[in-house]
A and B are shown apart, each in its own frame.
Chain A
Amino acid sequence: MTQALELARQTLLSPSGLGESEIARLFGHLAGPSVDYADLYFEYTRQETWSLEEGRVKNGSHSIEQGVGVRAVSGEKTGFAYSDEIVLPALTQAAEAARAIARQGADQGQPIAIHAVRHEIPALYGAADPLASIPDADKISLLERVEQEARRQDPRIKEVLASLAAVHDVVLVARNDGQMVADVRPLVRLNVTVIAEQRGRREQGSAGGGGRYGFDYFVDELALGFAREAARQALVNLDADDAPAGTMTVVLGPGWPGILLHEAIGHGLEGDFNRKGTSAFSGRIGERVASEQCTVVDDGTLPNRRGSLTVDDEGTPTQNTVLIENGVLRTYLQDTMNARLMGVPPTGNGRRESFAHLPMPRMTNTYMHAGEYDPGEIIASVDRGLYAVNFGGGQVDITSGKFVFSASEAYLIENGSVTRPVRGATLIGNGPDVLTRVSMVGNDMELDTGVGTCGKEGQLVPVGVGQPTLRLNGITVGGVQV
């Protein structure tokens, strides 16, 4: 953390001559007796993307954004303003705007002594700039090797799109409790999408991954593996039939299908919805919401994972939070505001897309612990059903609890065996009861490869998911075949 703090200070404060005493004075404008919480969120983000199509890297882009988000919270009220100029007059103006809503007329603020927090939270990732981790020429050649590997799989692979992206995010949070905390977050990602064609029919396959690393994470074994995986999926889908429609037994594969937990469970357990009572899970702590075989956690502390954070965007260290323990609902996910209003400790889940957005409770890496069944045994137990191993996106209606997620690779199970591939199946269910339908939990827990992006109220943040193979009894499969 010390390294992060020094880097953050150099990047965010030094250029404008800001330091603890200037920030202390800003809190004089921002805080006051009626303000329960206030913070300043300094952020500098540099990103780059390289993209390949038609065998060549024809596009690259680079962006820099920086600014400060200023927030004052009083009870359930939040005032928020930001400035993309990190200079004292602009920050003072933002502080005045943010506090207007929270502070009563005569309520005078006092400067707050600020001290940088150097306590030894071990950083979960390196502070080095991932954009500079390998030479630009090597980024190009990596994408070219990925493209060639995908094409090499089969002459039916007709198009290959690949992209490589890195983000370097430097964050400094100063709070009205006097703490100033920094975090420096690398994030890289490689994506491959291919289109395969056979007798006029076209299908696509996608794969990719990444995490909080430099580009050197993408050794050939990993990167070329994504290329082969995307090609494999597209080729499987060339032979897929229409998916069935109706309620049936569904077996979900391990890893990325854990998007089920993210949509069906995770969002509904976010503290803001539960504080307001608008979630289908509101008021249900201590109740059974899943089969006894299910233990689900949200864990922001996994080193280098895409969804991990050393500290969240309010400076709270992340943790491993048990959401559901042996089927019983234990905890909601909290940021500082909702934790305070609900009278519980924050869980390190206060996240925001950028300085220009308000933080709210968000997931990190959400996954289910392994169970006892062999995955083969789970498939063999199903007479007729769907085996879904890859998914596109999902969505949930928090209030009704209904969620969907769409399979990009799925098969029929007939008489205990995986038979034909099927396409275009969206699964729909009810969050509060879907895990009560879990009858078998596999012993093959896997995390996803690092591709998840979660959207909430228009804000995007990187997340992770994971799960073992699961058997769900009776979930609606939205195919076309009646």
Chain B
Amino acid sequence: MTQTAQHEADWDMQRLHDLAQQVLEEARRGGATAAEVAVNRSHGYSATVRMGEVETVEHNRDKNLVVSVYFGNQTGSASSSDFAAAAVADTVRAACSIAKYTAADRCAGLADPARLAREPMDLDLYHPWSIDVAAAIELARACEGAALDSDPRLVNSEGATVASHSGTEVYANSSGFAGDSAGTRHSISCAVVGEQDGAMQRDYWYSAARDPHELEDAALVGAAAAKRTLRRLGARKMPTRQCPVLYEAPVAASLLSHFTAAVRGSSLYRKASFLLDRLQQPIFSEGVRIYEQPHLPKAVGSAWFDNEGVATRDRDLVTQGVLQSYVLDTYSGCKLGMESTGNAGGARNLTIEPGPLGLAELLRELGTGLLVTELIGSGVNLVTGDYSRGAVGFWVENGEIQYPVEEITVAGNLPRMFQDIAAVGNDLDTRRNIRTGSILLNNLTVAGS
């Protein structure tokens, strides 16, 4: 980090702290018995090049404050993008006014002061990228060029984008907690279109990191996008059948997102989950371990306190296939007669423990079945676990890819699918908050022709 960047971030942070305290003071003056506030600022840009020419340059600059006030057990919240004193006062007033109408709820309130994070941690999340728009455009051009130049069947493009953003945020509450964090996020992405026999296919690839030095080379991102598009050319439907299905790592993360949605406190106390009352029971196949690592340096989901100031910590959600813990904030914990698990805002850097096999070996394990590389649609019912989504991928026989398939669905029931996990790959995709390798399921229904 440069001295200037550090200085700017510090200056920004102090202003956000001051604003947060101003909001808490307004709330106190408005008669609130407790209050909490989150304020953030972010800025950045993205540059897109399409067919070798600049297409868009977007500059972003955002700020927001969200306040929740409590009058005993009644609550109201309000947000504003205007930080002027009058607007801040109006926002707090709006929250207080709402709290007069809401019903008292014994669970409404701030986090237990004993659980608040005490020791600030440097998680190494702030790495500004000293690249100007012109250089970003050149990088995007190189990325797209590497894709389009690689094969004459790549006839069109949705472009390549280079984006860089940084943000600072402060959370404070009337129990005396005030914490902050600053982070950056940079990415290079590319989507290209191929054509064969009059039919078009598109696919994409991206690299994302908090530290620009950890981004994949732009030409490699372009080459990966090209390869992914080309392999889809000539896709066809396949006959309806039941078979084993291998989810490639980038789409396997969605399976875990359904898991976290089902063990989230708000789904549980509303009884809107297919994993009710399953604590300490086997919900995954025996070898599965799923854990949270909120303090991983440079990782996308890292934070030393959650959205209520509660200290985050490493923990297992699933050990040996058995559900160890839910994902709770203070409110949903109280509704369930439990404590917060430090998960206001969700699980952080959730990882499913990789197994020993790579994608090629998993294909051999799969034998004859379907490799899924893209999913579309929202056919997931969290209440029942019913699952049916549109899919794109490859038909595999004896561990060898045969041909690309499309216009099919994969369907099952999530509780059974979790029990049906046969292997997790070592091809960990760490670009997102959910980190997983490819996942092999023994049996799903594939609907096609």
Q: In the complex, how many residue pairs between chain A and chain B have their CB atoms under 8 Å apart? A: 250
Q: How far apart are the CA atoms of A139 and B98 in the complex, in Å?
A: 11
Whether the pair A100, B379 counts as a contact (CB closer than 8 A) is no
Whether the pair A480, B240 counts as a contact (CB closer than 8 A) is no
Contact of A204 among B59, B108, B272 (CB under 8 A): B272
Whether the pair B379, A64 counts as a contact (CB closer than 8 A) is no
Whether the pair A203, B201 counts as a contact (CB closer than 8 A) is no
Whether the pair B407, A61 counts as a contact (CB closer than 8 A) is no
Least distance between A161 CB and chain B CB atoms (Å): 7
Whether the pair B384, A476 counts as a contact (CB closer than 8 A) is no
Q: How far apart are the CA atoms of A394 and B242 in the complex, in Å?
A: 24
Whether the pair B200, A400 counts as a contact (CB closer than 8 A) is yes
> B444: nearest residue on chain A (CB-CB)?
A480
B77 at the interface (CB under 8 A from A): yes
B411 at the interface (CB under 8 A from A): yes
Query: For B387, what are the chain A residues with a Cβ–Cβ distance below 8 Å?
Result: 424
Q: How far apart are the CA atoms of A43 and B277 in the complex, in Å?
A: 47
Interface residues of A in 251-286 (CB under 8 A from B): 276-278, 280
A247 at the interface (CB under 8 A from B): yes
Please give the number of chain B residues whose Cβ is less than 8 angstroms from any Cβ of chain A in the complex: 77
Interface string of B365-401 (1 = CB under 8 A from A): 0000000001011110101101111101000000000
Whether the pair B102, A424 counts as a contact (CB closer than 8 A) is no
B114 at the interface (CB under 8 A from A): no
Q: How far apart are the CA atoms of A412 and B390 in the complex, in Å?
A: 21
Interface string of B428-449 (1 = CB under 8 A from A): 0000000000000000011111
Query: For A395, what are the chain B residues with a Cβ–Cβ distance below 8 Å?
Result: 376-378, 390
Interface residues of B in 65-101 (CB under 8 A from A): 75-82, 87, 90-91, 94-95, 97-99, 101
Q: How far apart are the CA atoms of A203 and B274 in the complex, in Å?
A: 10
Whether the pair B377, A423 counts as a contact (CB closer than 8 A) is no
Least distance between A459 CB and chain B CB atoms (Å): 12
Interface string of A133-150 (1 = CB under 8 A from B): 000110110000000000
Whether the pair B388, A58 counts as a contact (CB closer than 8 A) is no
B58 at the interface (CB under 8 A from A): yes
Q: How far apart are the CA atoms of A195 and B269 in the complex, in Å?
A: 12
Whether the pair A404, B103 counts as a contact (CB closer than 8 A) is no
Whether the pair A245, B78 counts as a contact (CB closer than 8 A) is no
Whether the pair B54, A77 counts as a contact (CB closer than 8 A) is yes
B215 at the interface (CB under 8 A from A): no
A170 at the interface (CB under 8 A from B): no
> Given contacts A202-B383, A480-B388, is CB(A60)–CB(B103) below 8 Å?
no
Whether the pair A424, B55 counts as a contact (CB closer than 8 A) is no
> B103: nearest residue on chain A (CB-CB)?
A56
A374 at the interface (CB under 8 A from B): no
Query: For B102, what are the chain A residues with a Cβ–Cβ distance below 8 Å?
Result: 56-60
Least distance between B144 CB and chain A CB atoms (Å): 13
- CB pairs A–B below 8 angstroms (13 shown): A60-B99, A60-B102, A77-B54, A79-B57, A245-B446, A246-B240, A276-B50, A404-B377, A428-B377, A476-B447, A477-B447, A480-B412, A482-B241
Which A residues are within 8 Å of any B CB, using their own CB?
48, 53, 56-67, 76-85, 94, 97-98, 100-101, 136-137, 139-140, 158-159, 161, 195, 197, 201-204, 243, 245-247, 276-278, 280, 356, 358, 392-400, 402-406, 423-426, 428-430, 476-482
Given contact pairs A77-B55, A82-B59, A406-B388, a sample of 19 additional A-B residue pairs in the complex whose CB atoms are under 8 Å apart? A57-B102, A62-B79, A76-B55, A78-B57, A79-B56, A80-B56, A101-B54, A161-B270, A245-B446, A276-B50, A356-B62, A399-B200, A403-B390, A426-B389, A426-B409, A478-B410, A479-B411, A480-B388, A482-B240
